[in-house]
Copies of this chain bind each other. A is one copy, B any other.
Amino acid sequence: MTSYWNDFPGIPEALERVSGIMQDVSASENPVISDGLTALFNGDSKLLRPGLFLIASQFGKPQEKLYKLAAALEMLHTATLIHDDVIDDSPLRRGLPAAHTLFGKRDAVLIGDYLLSRCFLITAEYTSPQNAVDLARLISIICTMEIEQNNDRWRSNLSLRSYLRKITGKSALLFSLACYAGAREANAPKEVCYRLRRIGHNIGVAFQIIDDILDYTGDQGLVRKTLGNDITAGLITLPVLCALPLDNSSTLQGIFSRETFTAEEGAAIFDIVRQSGGAEAAGVYAEKYTARALKEISALPPGKNRDMLEILTHRLLIRKQ
């Protein structure tokens, strides 16, 4: 969905190339793989991570291999989505049937593995060994945080700190790597690379917080999934933590005074969060991380790419889907 980028000069064209590479690198004579991936790649991904990577790379010198690496990032992201959907039994992804809905869980696990291997193929061929190492480490951390999240299902007494740690690992780190690796592969100055890493982190944390908010207050037509998925799956996210001091009925406090909660209590939590303004309170955190990102962005060398990063950061904060 490169139209998301229409007012970013040059980016839609660059992302079209990235999409082409994703199709080429993932091409397979096996119809399950090729049909499955074509369906996924044609879904409505905004290509945020490769977009960030490409903008960040403009702080250095343009290079042909950058398109390939941008593709590798999106392929990694897609692989994790495929496995997530298998794990969570989500029937839809990006407005289309999920891989396991189309091909069964058996093949979906394998298609995810296939995509991971193609992502590594690109990094082994084109990236600096250090970026390949970073990417491999990142995947380890994503998996670890997802497992930690699974362990925390139906646990009620979670801390803000533990929430932030999990969303950093499972989501913000990939934004952070996209910004950092884009600049580094393009040989941007070191301090710019490090600044972009911090920018990516802050954008990523805000992004995930908004994701978690939209699960409570989103427009169902726009987010195209049922609301309340997190709490139904036993996951406490920031809107719940923010609702805790706002809930006059003390029901939430009662639940949090124990270690675990039930599916029935989960349904109650959903209503309390919506009524008490927990989602809005969580929005303040998203604004805080966005402000941090914007502050770092303002310290980048001025130019078209810095402007794009600023516009994108604003846009991600007010997104509705």
Q: List residues of A whose CB falls within 8 A of some B CB.
A: 28-30, 32-33, 80, 83, 86-87, 104-107, 109-114, 116-118, 120-121, 123-125, 129, 132-133, 135-140, 143-144, 146-148, 150-151
Contacts and interface: CB of A to CB of B under 8 A. Distances in A.
Q: How many copies does the complex hold?
A: 2
A314 to B, nearest CB: 33
A143 B110 CA distance: 5
A148 B30 CA distance: 7
Contact of A33 (B29, B107, B147): B147
Contact of A118 (B111, B116, B121, B140): B140
A218 B145 CA distance: 41
A263 to B, nearest CB: 17
Nearest to A143: B114
A114 B28 CA distance: 25
B129 A143 contact: no
Contact of A123 (B29, B112, B124, B140): B124
B83 A110 contact: yes
B139 A113 contact: yes
Q: From A87, A113, A121, A150, name the one whose CB has the most chain B CB atoms within 10 angstroms.
A: A113
